[in-house]
Amino acid sequence: MTTCIPAGSGNLHYSVAPCRGQGYRKTSWVSGVAFNRCIQKELLWSCGVSKFLQTQRCNYSKSPFSENWKSLRTVTSSCLREGSTKYFDFAVIGSGVAGLRYALEVAKHGSVAVITKAEPHESNTNYAQGGVSAVLCPSDSVESHVHDTIVAGAYLCDEETVRIVCTEGPDRIRELIAMGASFDHGEDGNLHLAREGGHSHRRIVHAADMTGREIERALLEAVVYDPNICVFEHHFAIDLLTCQDGSDTVCLGVDTMNTETQEVIRFISKVTLLASGGVGHIYPSTTNPPVATGDGMAIAHRAQAVISNMEFVQFHPTALADEGLPVKPSKSRENAFLITEAVRGDGGILYNLSMERFMPLYDDRAELAPRDVVARSIDDQLKKRNEKYVLLDISHKPRKKILSHFPNIAAECLQHGLDITCQPIPVVPAAHYMCGGVRAGLQGETNVRGLYVAGEVACTGLHGANRLASNSLLEALVFARRAVQPSIDHMKSSKHDLGTSNWWSRPVVPFSLGSEAMDKILLMTRKVRRELQSIMWEYVGIVRSTTRLQFAEQKIGELEAKWEEYLFQLGWEPTMVGLEACEMRNLFCCAKLVVSSALARHESRGLHYTIDFPNLEESKRLPTVIFPGSSVKGSWSSRQLHKQPL
């Protein structure tokens, strides 16, 4: 059963994530799930939990990395060991900024496996356009950055976390520069600092409008030459390998599937870092790359990790609206093309299709309001006017400045017949970032021993109810670095037992089903995926209501049951694995976490806006926390494939 703590009815003092800071109030760090009906019925996605918790009851062009790819493959192949089990000191799941930055540090102390679902550069980091926020200007201050972050986060941020990230951020930027990352400089030779929505100062370090790509390039280049790091590309993380040590859950590695060879590979590690990114593809339109199917959040939830604040899905207000382009793309995009926040920061103005500026009607900060405000304002305009998109105009700025600051956006639009130096850009909101995730302490630790988290998969308390622009790469850098020392300490106190690998039964690739059955399963899975995304957009989108959330919960449960029944009728077994089926499993798991968390919050705060509770409630300024339940029963998305060893 999913354990829930009614807001204001009691507090659970939880050792991994103690109460900190004014943002969460003194007694609210692990409190705040507020729906009593969860105690009355078993939710499909429930799974086991330690005895302690049970008792509480409460469009990317050619890869810029291709030149180095041969050497990276050579490093990778030299690390491969015979057999389907591999032993490492550290396993890193994900190859974005958090995973790679962490890997480069812990590699000084042991062997590291970087496990990535596609090519190493295919991550949310690589698609980040805007930049990294940090206090690097004399007129700026840490206090100002802290204030902006907490205001944007609707006062749900953990103040201690915010202060740590804002204080340590500048050093993390300097480390990137020392590693070879190249950021834009002004005519005075200093770093060019941009300003984005919600920021009171210019503090965004950037590389034109391709900042994430530049950071990823620098980190991957360093990884290529590190002999202690082995990169395993096209390895999909299926489930974490966990066992019980008294009341503690312990992580000892991860099962993966090589999606090119269809071989199951087991990684046994002393420490595991989850840095697997977000869950954008629970929605039909997202700026996230195709790999962002919530795998890390789902496998952590199934492994009994505490999950928090999943109702806070950030919709970026300005993704490119293909319908408004003079020349439509020849095929639908796998992910929406992002129009960075920096366009508005540089003076871009939002208009409806009648060329009426509308943002001042909604907020005094106009186009520089935080993302949740801008996204809701656009959504309101679209619904009132029955239109498909709005217009973002930067053409009143000098042509040279536009092309130098936004070359990638300019090139993409020009490819479809639109010149942003003299024409407005058609934009529409799209799912962009998950502010919730796996609950993390100040060093990236979770309630599962040996499991650390960093990046979008984590919920550190930094973002609160809404992420401030360009704080995501910053958080990833800071927490990847903070997780290093406790990881090293844990690694040194742990030992590899070569027999450990045999503690769990192995997942099975369903070769035995035959091609006809597999084709049917794939077709059904793709259809179900589209249906789930449609439900999430229609009923769990930018503006919500209790009735619509309850309807979504019901429809998702029915859809999942129908899909699983279809699979099992065709011979699929719970221990079987395939890329698209396992992604679907994770999408279901995360979608249900989002819906349950949204139903729990009886107020409108930040990214969660519900017409039934339209106001902020001070008494509900608490994080939403989901503990896994103790029931053995549940859907396929709820349970680990293997049974935990005794």
Q: How far is the C-alpha of 180 from the C-alpha of 535, rounded, in Å?
A: 44
Structure tokens at 120: 């190493």
User: Strand 112-115 to strand 229-232: parallel, antiparallel, or no bridges (unpaired)?
Assistant: parallel
Contact status, residue 534 vs residue 601, Cβ threshold 8 Å? no
8 A C-beta contact, residue 114 and residue 231: yes
The 390-393 sheet, strands edge to edge: 313-320, 425-434, 390-393, 349-351
Task: Tally helices (H) and strands (E) across the chain.
Answer: 19, 18
Distance CA 398, CA 409 (A): 16
Q: Is 544 a catalytic residue?
A: no
DSSP helix/strand/coil, 602? coil
Cα separation, 431 vs 410, in Å, equals: 22
Which bin fits 309, alpha (ψ -120 to 50), beta or left (φ > 0)?
Answer: left
Q: Which residue is catalytic, options 203, 371, 506, 548? A: 371
- Cα distance between residue 98 and residue 100, in whole Å: 6
CA-wise closest residue to 626 among 588, 594, 604? 594
Closest CA to 261 of 231, 290, 232, 234: 234
User: Is-contact 2 596, C-beta < 8 A?
Assistant: yes
Cα Rg of the chain (Å, integer): 23
**Which of 46, 14, 45, 44 is CA-nearest to residue 28?**
14
* Residue 47 DSSP class: -
Point out the residues that are catalytic: 371
